[in-house]
Amino acid sequence: MNTYLARAAIFSAGACLVAGCGGGGGGSPGGVALPIFGAPSTPDVPAAPKVDCTLQLEGDSIASGGLSLTTTIAEVPAAGIKRMRPAYVVTDKSVVGNSAHARAPAFANQPIASRLVVIEFGVNDAGNSYPYEAAMRLLLDRTKALGKVVVITGLPPQRVPLVNADAYNAIAKALATEYGATFADWRSVVIDPADMSDDVHPLQKGSTQLVEQLVRALDRAAPECSK
């Protein structure tokens, strides 16, 4: 009997220690307070900076995918860029029949929201013997003043080369070097004559070849947008 009472007393004392039995004095109402440890704090991880892959496409019917004033190829270059490089948000400012000579005066005073600018002019300038270098300088002065990343395509190949095309392409290449722009060298692309709609305008396969060449230049200019 005495052994049983002793064991009961020990059990009761142990339970009291764990649960915290009330006692005199001004302590906590539950007796012995057990420390509470919170979960360790997790340091804030800064969010990755958002990559700006906005692009403005400037050019003529080659950049717009136009075969005439009313007809375009199925996948125009702006759509081709987006398919090949989904990160890009493309604003297509290309217009059938446009030229650096015609575009420069307005462009020189317009805001540009996009980070990258692709400049594809020269075919209509060459065909009309417009003063190409002066117009291109106005375009490039504007993009430089706004801090834009610029890609110049150069002139595309023609089935029957325009008289001034090679000379104007050389100007485009030299200006790209001078202004720190990336040169896509469209004139180096070999397009089968069967993939041309006429002497100047490529059909879908030829246009896609040009867009692939442009995308390679974009990858050099903005590798962070190449994924």
**Segment-wise mean pLDDT, segments of 10 residues, the chain, 227 residues:** 43 42 47 54 66 98 95 97 98 98 97 98 98 98 98 97 96 98 98 97 98 98 95
Structure tokens belonging to residue 127: 């065909």
pTM, two decimal places: 0.79
Taking 3-state DSSP, the helix, strand and coil percentages for the chain, each rounded to the nearest 5, stand at 45, 10, 45
CA–CA separation, 211 vs 215, rounded Å? 6
Q: 91 - beta bridge partners?
A: 56
- Looking at residue 69, its pLDDT comes to 87
54-225: CATH topology is Rossmann fold (3.40.50)
Question: Cα dihedral angle (71, 75, 76, 78), rounded to 10 degrees?
Answer: 150
Give the list of residues 6+ apart from residue 5 with CB closer than 8 angstroms, or none. none
Give the list of residues 6+ apart from residue 163 with CB closer than 8 angstroms, or none. 126
Domain ranges in the chain are 54-225
Return the SS3 of 12. helix
